[in-house]
Structure 1
Amino acid sequence: MRVLLALLLATSVSAAPRTFRVDYFHTGNASEERFSLDRLVIEPLDWPGNPARPVDETNLGKYLFEVRDQATNRLLYSRGFASIYGEWETTAEAKEAHRTFHESLRFPAPSQPVQVLLKKRDARNTFREIWSLAVDPRDMFVDPSSPPSPGALLPLLENGPPSEKVDLLILGDGYTAQERAKFEKDARRMVDILFTFSPFKEHKARFNVWGLVPASAQSGISRPSTGLHRRSPVGATYDAFGSERYVLTFDNEAFRDTAAFAPYDFVEILVNGNTYGGGGIFGLYGTVASDSLWAPYIFVHEFGHHFAGLADEYYTSDSAYLPSEDRAEPWEKNVTALKDPSQLKWKALLSPSTPLPTPWDKDAYEAHARQIQQRRKKIRSEQRPESEMDALFTAQRDWEEKFLGAQKQASKVGAFEGAMYEARGYYRPQVDCVMFTRDRVPFCAVCRHALTEIIDLYSEKPVRSDVPAP
């Protein structure tokens, strides 16, 4: 009887599917884009995602992909995301040249043929299909072979099975084999910092955090603006899009093949260096330089981009992106064009009696910011010590904390002009936030709400309903 019961229990629990990956090339310029298949991959590990929430209903991302059963057209899986290409096409270079970027779509391995649909927002923010690919999991060209292992998986925080938790991977780059202990120390420090911020600290039990660090032949990563080039395992580099502080990897295949050895929903690439820098792209990865004085802030700020698609709320720093011509309503949940105040996207969190737009001493803030930018450019152009940049940023932070904290509406949720790299036309929810300055402040109320929504998507079962699903 016990044997029969065990057999019944075993057959009632379906095994998790493997992780399927579509690698493809994304080519184009500012006015056109094309896609071509590179390879179909079965990753080494089972799918780590939440089986109860396969469909993304957050309406986030510049792009969206869907996986549909070919026979019935039933939606099996979907996720919104952003991409390096999606950022690059807004730069001046994209108006003059074509470029190709390697990208990937990951989803639970299907048992039957599926159609993978890639969609992009149009001028009205509606997703429109731009590419479609038929995928047969039994195709002879589906590659189940494993790439070389990057090393042992390091559990940094374990709270349960990957399918029930938000799984974050801390992926090291630019660490030699002798610096593995340094990576573990750096990674644990970043994890501890993340969970001091709301809403992460309240939901720490809903996270797993893993560490991987492939051994690098040389310590550090590339910084082309200073003539430094490194062939690090994940390919991270400063100076992305010509911005000295922007850290990305353009080697998507190396990144994906390395990360495949961990169960992950999100990835933070921890680069071994002390120069101020980082980056974050929604649904792709975040980056941070581990030894920068500002690593705690950069890590949390860039993770906000990667995790929940939060927009940059600052607007006085130099940017590689061209100004928006029409100021369409952004898809990001923490910025708005405020074309109709009665339809403010965060009106449920709006402080009572707060005027829209919400007044603040914008001119004085911008005058101070211009002075900081001039001094910053001088430090970089003369390649002066990083300690001088740290001192400048510390003085800026101290001034801004006092100045913004003294604003009449400092504690209110409203619509404060200045966001998304533009001084006019875009608005942020509160006068200060992790996404606006390097100040020692929390995420604003709107950002916290957006972050919690993603935590729920990856770790929460849907609300039960008596109404059958369509």
Structure 2
Amino acid sequence: MNMLLRAAFALAATTLAAAAPRTLRVDYYHTGTAASETFALDRAVLEPLPWPGDPDKAVDTTNFGKYLFEVVDRATNKVIYSRGFCSVYGEWETTGEARGAARTFSESLRFPRPDGPVQVNLKKRDARNAFREVWSFTLDPADPAVDTSATPAPGELIAIRKSGDPAAKVDLLIIGDGYTRAERPKFEREARRLADALFAVQPFKDRQNDFNVWGLCPAAERSGVSRPSVGRHLRSPLGAAYDAFGLERYVLTFDNRALRDAAAHAPYEFLEILVNGDTYGGAGIFGQFSTVAAGSLWAPYIFVHEFGHHFAGLADEYYTSPVAYESGPERPEPWEPNATADPRNPKWKALVTPGTPLPTPWKKDAFDAHSRETQARRQALRAAGRPESEIDALFRAQQAFETGLLGGDVHHGAVGAFEGANYESRGYYRAQEDCVMFTRDEVPFCAACAGAIRKVIALYAKP
């Protein structure tokens, strides 16, 4: 009887997988300045693999993201799919460059192929955090203009961690950039090492069986990626490069088409680009991708930190490091789940440790003074072209100081509202004194971050 049941379950699973729709992708251009933006359709692509998501969780319930897109069935006017996200354009529009110049970025929306014509509505948050429509277009999946051509696979699909059917799991694709064909084993080692680092940190550790992790490694002609600040320019398969928006450690790709065409050969909802480089660097954009320089001493920390941005829309909680973004004196309530402008009524109020004062005092002056000194020394080392080992030594000393300072504070470990977050020393608050999103110390995600991560896992994985 048990054998018959197992056979029946296996047949049912096979039938469901066969019935899964293909993945439809819309590539579009996002153009503008800090003051205005426009959108234009590039192409609609039918990807080669079935949609990896759970059909019962098609509508986003998290309320995360600077943007939101909805797929509306034209026949019923019903939202059949939606997701919040951020974008490279959304990052760039906050930089000084965007105040005086226009740029165009390629972006993508992915969703299960609908049965009939749909309307796709793209929305953006206004000053009050309400989503307002900024672009809309209709799409018929039967339109002959939909690109159904097969792109060549970028390499063998590697099952780094296989926990179950993609429709029932969170699917993470780790894709390499700047690895030659001979360096493919190096990519696989680094991908497995960094995946292990992610699942060593809570709450990912307790939920690791809810994840599949896949690997792909398009072969590069030359080893490494571009780093323009030192005169290094390479045409890597995915176009990843340091120095994005003028920030030496910020690693992005602006070649969205190449990235999406390569990634289409794996089941994925989340995407991590492993860069073949030793210099400290990475980035994370919610719902788009995250990056890490896999050869850096700090790669495990960077991987986890940047994946927090990409996976759960977490805000940076640090505020003393240089960033590309510019902000004004206003302190609107951020949509990100781990930062607030209202310390007496934070969005994580239900998690506040009883008896903890709001806002919560901490050793901010001592922390800030040491951090400013470290940043000045770092900039001097970079300007002098000193080796990466000296930067690593500086960061290790900073880590030791901050671990000792924060670990001995009276409210260390408590959930409260600690001033300093979202790149701002004043006016924004974080949930706990220390967190993966705040320092490089060996600490877990704070309570607010962990709650957001669990919320996203619940959107993709079956309980």
TM-score, scaled relative to structure 1: 0.95
Q: For 1:381 and 1:319, how far apart are their aligned partners in 2?
A: 17
Q: For 1:81 and 1:135, how far apart are their aligned partners in 2?
A: 20
Q: Give the superposition deviation at 1:18.
A: 0.2
What is the identity, as a one-letter code, of the residue corresponding to 2:72? R
Q: For 1:148 and 1:222, how far apart are their aligned partners in 2?
A: 24
Q: For 2:161 and 2:91, how far apart are their aligned partners in 1?
A: 32
Does the alignment pair 1:327 with 2:331?
yes
Q: Which residue of 2 aligns with 1:283?
A: 287
1:205-250 deviation line (CA, Å, top 9, x unaligned): 1110000000000000000000001100011000000000000000
Q: Which residue of 2 aligns with 1:16?
A: 20
Q: For 1:411 and 1:260, how far apart are their aligned partners in 2?
A: 42
Q: Give the superposition deviation at 1:460.
A: 2.5
1:424 aligned to which of 405, 421, 426: 426
Q: For 1:422 and 1:324, how far apart are their aligned partners in 2?
A: 10
> What does 1:282-301 correspond to in 2, within 5 Å?
282-301=286-305
Q: For 1:274 and 1:190, how far apart are their aligned partners in 2?
A: 14
Q: Which residue of 1 aligns with 2:441?
A: 439
Q: For 1:11 and 1:260, how far apart are their aligned partners in 2?
A: 21
Native 8 Å contact 2:172 2:214 kept in 1: yes
List 4+ stretches of structure 1 deviating above 6 A.
8-12
Give the match's secondary structure for 2:297.
coil
Q: For 1:344 and 1:249, how far apart are their aligned partners in 2?
A: 35
Identity %: 64
> What does 1:2-13 correspond to in 2, within 5 Å?
13=16
> What does 1:39-438 correspond to in 2, within 5 Å?
39-338=43-342, 341=344, 343-438=345-440
Native 8 Å contact 2:60 2:82 kept in 1: yes
Give the match's secondary structure for 1:399.
helix
Give the match's secondary structure for 1:202.
coil
Unaligned stretches of 5+ residues in structure 2: none
Q: Give the superposition deviation at 1:12.
A: 7.8
Q: Which residue of 2 aligns with 1:31?
A: 35
Q: For 2:15 and 2:296, how far apart are their aligned partners in 1?
A: 51
1:332-387 deviation line (CA, Å, top 9, x unaligned): 00000116x2x320011000011111001211111111110110001111111000
Q: For 1:9 and 1:196, how far apart are their aligned partners in 2?
A: 34
Q: Give the superposition deviation at 1:184.
A: 0.6
Q: Which residue of 2 aligns with 1:465?
A: none
Native 8 Å contact 2:363 2:405 kept in 1: no
Q: For 1:351 and 1:251, how far apart are their aligned partners in 2?
A: 45
1:190-214 deviation line (CA, Å, top 9, x unaligned): 0111110111111111110000000
Give the match's secondary structure for 1:44.
strand
Q: Give the superposition deviation at 1:49.
A: 1.0
Q: For 2:166 and 2:158, how far apart are their aligned partners in 1?
A: 14
Q: Give the superposition deviation at 1:10.
A: 9.9
Native 8 Å contact 1:52 1:460 kept in 2: no
What is the identity, as a one-letter code, of the residue corresponding to 2:440? R
Q: Give the superposition deviation at 1:9.
A: 6.8
Q: Give the superposition deviation at 1:329.
A: 0.5
Native 8 Å contact 1:247 1:287 kept in 2: yes
Q: Give the superposition deviation at 1:292.
A: 0.3
Give the match's secondary structure for 1:446.
helix
Give the match's secondary structure for 1:380.
helix
Native 8 Å contact 1:25 1:35 kept in 2: yes
TM-score, scaled relative to structure 2: 0.96
Give the match's secondary structure for 1:429.
strand
Q: Give the superposition deviation at 1:324.
A: 3.6
Native 8 Å contact 2:157 2:266 kept in 1: yes
Q: Which moved more, 1:165-174 or 1:324-333?
A: 324-333
Q: For 1:312 and 1:225, how far apart are their aligned partners in 2?
A: 24
Q: For 2:246 and 2:262, how far apart are their aligned partners in 1?
A: 26
Native 8 Å contact 2:45 2:147 kept in 1: yes
Q: For 1:60 and 1:347, how far apart are their aligned partners in 2?
A: 18
Q: For 1:382 and 1:158, how far apart are their aligned partners in 2?
A: 46
1:83-132 deviation line (CA, Å, top 9, x unaligned): 01001000000000000000000000011000000000000000000000
Q: For 1:265 and 1:274, how far apart are their aligned partners in 2?
A: 27
Q: For 1:188 and 1:435, how far apart are their aligned partners in 2?
A: 22
What is the identity, as a one-letter code, of the residue corresponding to 1:250? F
Q: Give the superposition deviation at 1:446.
A: 1.2
Q: For 1:224 and 1:280, how far apart are their aligned partners in 2?
A: 20
Unaligned stretches of 5+ residues in structure 1: 462-470
